[in-house]
Structure 1
Amino acid sequence: MSSAAANSAAYWRIAGMSYLKYANACGEIVRQSLKEPFLSQAKARETVYYKMTEFASGKPGKAVITEVVPK
């Protein structure tokens, strides 16, 4: 590894964070800095949907979509 690569080690790793936590923190900061109309568009994309299908006798039943709104 070159000295430039060693000096540019991942800061999230040096801080003891996982990449997922680092990416989530960066995304949250970017979303907080947005102005309208981009803020409302970003908030709409934060919503998470789960689609659940119950199976009975090996056949799928009706799918139920559950909306989970993040914090």
Structure 2
Amino acid sequence: MTDITLSVPDISCDHCKHSIEGAVGPLDGVDSAEVSIADRTVRVAFDPTRIDLDTIKAAIDDQGYDVAS
């Protein structure tokens, strides 16, 4: 399992949190996705043999949020 924290500067509210967690959490290979509104980050625990980081970033981008790192 790999644990990463991504910076998503446009996170500002509960809607952002639920939108991102709802998009990333159910992805095959993702164990958990937690958004911090205060820190504007997304912490994701995932299995890199089942899903890659680009797919996770694309799911966030599809919700309208740019991943900074």
Q: Could you say whether these structures have the same fold, taking a TM-score greater than 0.5 normalized by the shorter chain as the test?
A: no
Decide which structure has greater helix share: 1
- Rg: which structure is higher? 1
TM-score relative to the length of structure 1: 0.27
TM-score relative to the length of structure 2: 0.27
Higher relative contact order (CA 8 A, sep 6+): 2
